[in-house]
Structure 1
Amino acid sequence: MDLNYTSEQEAFRQEVRQFLQDQLPDDISERTQKRLRLTKDMIVRWQQILHKQGWGASTWPKEFGGTGWSEVEQLIFEEECALAGAPRQLDFGLRMVAPVIMKFGSQEQKDQHLPGILDGSVWWSQGYSEPGAGSDLASLRTTAEREGDHYIVNGQKTWTTLGQYGDWIFCLVRTNKEVKAQEGISFLLIDMKTPGIDVKPIIMLDGEHEINDVFFDNVKVPVENRVGEEDKGWTYAKYLLGHERTGLANVGQWKAMMRRLKEIARQEQEDGYAIIENPRFRDRLAQLDAELRALEVTVLRVLTNSSGPGPEASILKIRGTEIGQRLFELAMEATGQDALAHIPDALEPDYDGPLAGSMNATPAAGDYFNMRKLSIFGGSNEIQRNIISKLVLGL
């Protein structure tokens, strides 16, 4: 396998790099690189800038308004965006529900929903996990009972990331209790302004409001908002998760984080010592760097599969999330005593309190706590190993 980029691919990299230099707003780049708090407006503004350039959906085919880029070009684009300090685009719309709508949705659903995802005007949330139904997703209990041309939805979704901003939510709901668990699930698109929906915040260990509980109390959803056939939602859910798990490899973001970690490790402390001088730390950093490079090659192998992401995406999910967690563990170690304190207010650029002089300090602890979730969401890594054993290795 030739691991070198072609001249055309290197020219494309330069095009992306120049665009980022010209168009990425400084306030967004600064916050992203320093891992400070991003606002909804910043994320939407960046999506709109990309959309204006025609780059709003790097993974979409041209027929739906995407770039039609090759898998290698997509990887180059994501890597350059991460290195430049561009925020990650919202996966819930672009990488999750959009591919499902493209493949299984009606023409009306495509016309209604894809443009808003592309230009950033509609914010999507994910309604999969429930209390007691996370890794064992098929045990979900949120119900949707058919009454004429509507479903009446009752239940609870949890761990809904950034659901406080959601305009729409895609949900797995139980429409049939008389069959095997996986065979009685449907896939609904629900307007979050519908009466009966209540979003309540969950404050995490790092003090941030990133996730939510979403409650449904007799929520009336038109039948035409169902994607595909009734009781076939498990098929669509697995298709969505294949796309999500490929994205969770997160190679571009981790390469940017690796660069930042090396900068932190080289910084001298008050006693003139830099942790990069520690042979054991340096060896662990080098090992992780090599594993990240190997992951990048594996991502390319999976993405270039002509049939699209399959069960092999579980390999990317496991390795990507494990590498991410170890990166933030090393960042905690490299930051040293400053990482002991996490001050949520320090995630704002105008913060002038304790540790204000160390821009490595306060995000390190919060990031460490936050990233413990990586090996759980998108299907826990234990579940992914079962998938690999059964569907990839045939054991």
Structure 2
Amino acid sequence: MEKTGSDRIDADCRRGRGAGSNNTGRFEEFQRVRVDDGWTEEPLPPFRTEVSIERPRSVISRNSSPDLAFDRSLNPYRGCEHGCIYCYARPTHAWLGYSPGLDFETRLIARPDAAIQLEKELRRRGYQVAPLALGTNTDPYQPIEGQYRITRQVLEVLEAFQHPVLIITKGTLIERDLDILSRMAAKGLAQVGISVTSLQADLSRKMEPRVPSPARRLRMIQALSEAGVPVRVMASPIVPGLTDHELEPILKAGRDAGAVAANYILLRLPGEVAPLFQDWLDEHYPDRAERVMNRVREMRDGKAYQSEFGERFVGRGVVAELLKQRFQKACQRLGLTKDLPDMRCDLFTPPLQQGDQLSLF
């Protein structure tokens, strides 16, 4: 079958999911369509979460982006069950032959050897230590982490090497690892960013269907803060015309919960994310859909997305500049900083292996 238009999936089949369709990735020659052939009176089954296994030969990804505060990252999982409709990582699933739509949140890939491979890479001669980021593409504390515990294993390796780590998450499973994170934070080796998109529970449930509620995420910030872990509240993404009015309340709620730093990121709609988000708006907020997309284009030089460094996170134009000024003034008023203290890299020490000779000094 040749590629055609949108393949909207019946709502009963995608309950608790973010995307409304499952169109084939852009690299595939043919379009796969989910069809009721009429041979049975039973309705089509709902989308279930499936997990496959990947054995990577390397796990540390490098970047040279001037927009990022780190140059290396590790992702324990591909795809994300949280199902955030705005997720900029959705297009990466197309490289795997999957759909950036429902496949991204139901056909997941776990990397159970990630910690073993990480240890090998940290022991390589000439390795230069710098903070390693977890959760830059998909959430390291999405629900399947409860079963696979890959993130926990990675943290155990990082603690053993006294290697600094930065975590970005929405998942409450991070509280399970407070023992490791509190010990690392006490040495200046751990920081966490918690993203809060909206304080409205109903809106959050529609936009990020399997993410803990906004109130629950604020309690995560509190738990981390009380454990001595420096926390950044991330107002991300800001959706113009839908959540932009919540910028100041989100920052205040994060500060009140214990966050000491903050940032914001404007909605990003690369590749297949733009039509998926447009369909989501048409379904859930048809009265605002046109206004939201017009405002997005106004802040993206007439396009749904621009990827230029320096502007992809904050946009451009008058409205984008006003948003930036609002953020700066709110942070000043609330006592929030833009940057957390630098983490320590001087403590990095590969632990001895069996057969290693002890140092005399």
Query: What TM-score, normalized by structure 1, do the two folds share?
Result: 0.28
* Greater relative contact order structure (CA < 8 Å, 6+ sep): 2
Q: Which has the higher helix share?
A: 1
Query: What TM-score, normalized by structure 2, do the two folds share?
Result: 0.29
